[in-house]
Amino acid sequence: MSTVLAIDVGGTGARLRLAPARSEEPASADDVRTLTADGARVGRTGSDVAAVVVDLVRRARDRWPDDPPAAVGVGATGLASLVDDHDGLLRDLVAASGRARVAVAADAVTAHLGALGGEPGAVIAVGTGAIALGTDLDRRWTRVGGWGHLYDDRGSGTWIGIAALQAAIRAHDGVGEAGRALLAAATDRLGAPPTWTRLLTLDDRAGVLASLAPDVVALADAGDPAASGIVHRAGQLAAESLAAALVDGIPRVAAATGGLTAAPRYAEALAAELARLAPDADLRPSRGNPLDGAVELARRAAAGRAPATRPGLLWSTAPAAGG
């Protein structure tokens, strides 16, 4: 049976799946094999995401030497902005995989392919960061957001964490009482407020800030007004990015993916704001996750139907459809 290798790399973990090369092939438990690993690390000098991906491919070949993949599909955080030599990465992956076709993409692309099952439209992926992508999977590609937590990632886990700390420090300083519950939650998780400035020196400060998001969501579910307001506004901001990705030429189909989108208040605010901003948009439940999207990307590469290289989003050794 011909196989494809799919890889999803985030900041907190990486997942790999060896799957049948054709979706119509029935997959038993033995046909779908997985590995997990640490995610990519980001420091002041860049990211090790390229090394993580190549190492995962080598581990897969060592684990399953009798099943060389026909293609490799990769979705990874930081691939667009923190990797300089994408051609070199493609060459390394071709060599490590045993001469497979290779397509590597920003995580927004594989999140899109997973959420809409390979159909065109717009998807917002919300996690530590937030990025929306609208595409017809051919000539039209529109990215909205995903520019980092210092001035973007609207509606993300990091955005929620920052908003929570802003409310919490106001309560700490006696400026207002609304953030008292957030102050207690932040103190439990991060320590005393005077130490919070140390977060700015951490390489993983975005992840640490985003670690507050589950606490904020829990407080919102319990009815805390300050937390509820933050979660509601985060959902609205995500909808703004999603609506902006629905440019002309892209089907008016949309989806949201990521852990935060399962929070009821967040999801309700996102849906209501999208209905206001883009009343003709069809907001659908997410059909799959970014690893599913990486499988779809690999299958397209194996069949010679991978989208053409789109600098900033996707790089491929496989010919594009019609190429």
Q: What is the pLDDT of residues 120-178, one digit of tens each?
A: 999 999 998 999 999 999 999 999 998 888 899 999 999 999 999 999 999 999 998 99
Average pLDDT for the chain: 90
98 vs 222, which has greater pLDDT?
Answer: 222
For the segment 205-222, what is each residue's pLDDT rounded down to a tens digit?
888 999 999 999 999 999
pLDDT given at position 282: 98
- SS3 sequence of 130-156: EEEEEECCCCCEEEEECCCCCCCCCCC
56-69 pLDDT, tens digit per residue, is 999 999 999 988 99
CATH number for the domain whose boundaries are 3-117+288-316 = 3.30.420.40
Cα(319)–Cα(323) distance, integer angstroms: 5
Instruction: State in words which class domain 157-284 has.
Output: alpha beta
Q: What is the pLDDT of residue 29?
A: 46
Annotated domain spans of the chain: 3-117+288-316, 157-284
pLDDT at 266 over 50: yes
pLDDT confidence of 78, banded at 50, 70, 90?
confident
Residue 260 confidence class, pLDDT cut points 50, 70, 90 = very high
